[in-house]
Amino acid sequence: MFLRKVCYHARMKNMPQPIEDDDLDDALAMDAERAEAAEDDAVELLSSTAVLPDEARGMRLDQAIAQAFPDYSRSRLTAWLKDGKISVNGVTCVPQRTPVEGGEVVELLVEPERQTEAAPENIPLNVVYSDEHIIVINKPAGLVVHPGAGNATGTLMNALLFHFPELRQLPRAGIVHRLDKDTSGLLVIARSLPAHKTLIEALSDRDMHREYMAVAQGLLVAGGMVDLPIGRHPRERTRMAVTESGREAITHYRVAEKFRQHTLLRVQLETGRTHQIRVHMSHIKLPLVGDPDYGGRLRLPKGASVELVETLRGFRRQALHAARLELEHPATGELMAWEAPIPEDMQVLILLLREDLRLNPHAH
């Protein structure tokens, strides 16, 4: 057994709250002050000590340290060892290939460097849950998760860095998975390096469960599974497609409610490929309502009301919502779950489809 003592010391000011002020100049000034303060505050010192056991004798130092500090990735620990942030019996910069004798006292003392360069922005967030390890966000449709081509600002990452400045110390501000811009729903954010590592591993091991609600065009008798690889479209590089050269992608779906020409689906991801649900549903001829890339031809129920027709034609995003998130807490191991209600635009669509079926029970 490794003898370990782990301490986390944080210096944080009160968490900034969204500004609700009619005076735009004052609001911008306050934002600037908070962004500047975020540069200096919320520095978290990581301190941890372990005694390497006799069983580690003959093992390479970097391998033994990786076992002694399982909360951190081996690559990160090796970098800290090279940078002199890990000492062995009081000596820093010990070569990583040094053989272990057993009994060495290894001390880790790190002030994490800034990992994220995006600027903090005062964008309101719907925080469903937060503690010192994780944050769960209910993302609205229309919000990009992290900066990229054409979206340098105004993203979830920018918002996170404003409300939780300490996230600048984590890769991608603690974001471990993503939702498409126009997909709404739940996302978990890591708030510490150990939590970041654990959540990444949970996603890789498929131990994080995500359930989506989707309105698809078309009818089906029962649910099923799509197990088809997804990769870049061979001609349109901004799109994804089912392709033999793609990566494994598995999607489970079941019927939640049937309408005349549409189906409300519960969808679970076993893997997490880009656009996975949208691509798989389109491939099996059940494209999502409103999907601008994979939705295909608009399908209108015969004799549908003007309101339903207008709603279907005006639905400008994929009807997809991450409704449930379930995971083991990265620090306590407790099984936790959160649910986010279906947003208003999808609720209106579902109610109109339900009313259309009521008024036309035998027409398809």
Average pLDDT, integer, range 332-346: 97
**CA-CA distance, 244 to 238, in Å (whole number)?**
18
- Of 72-81, 208-217, 317-326, the range with the lowest mean pLDDT is 72-81
CB 333 within 8 A of CB 202: no
Q: How distant, in Å, are the alpha carbons of 245, 286, 292, 307, 318 from that of 312?
A: 35, 15, 13, 9, 11
Q: What is the pTM of this model?
A: 0.73
pLDDT at position 169? 86
Cα distance between residue 197 and residue 46, in whole Å: 15
* Structure letter (DSSP) for residue 273: -
What residues are labeled active site? 180
Task: Classify strands 184-190 and 230-232 as parallel, antiparallel or unpaired.
Answer: unpaired
Following CA atoms 249, 252, 255, 260 in sequence, which dihedral angle do they give, to the nearest 10 degrees? Answer: 10
CB atoms within 10 A of CB 239: 15
How far is C-alpha 293 from the geometric centre of its chain's CA atoms? 22
Please say if the pLDDT value at position 35 is more than 50: no
d(CA 139, CA 144): 9
Kindly report, residue by residue over 117-131, the tens digit of the pLDDT.
789 999 999 999 999
Buried-state track 330-364, b at ≥16 Cβ within 10 A, e below 16: beeeeeeebebebbebbeebbebbeebbeebeeee
pLDDT digit string, tens, across residues 277-302: 999 999 999 999 999 999 989 999 99
Mean pLDDT of all residues in 176-205: 93
Tokens of 201: 């591993």
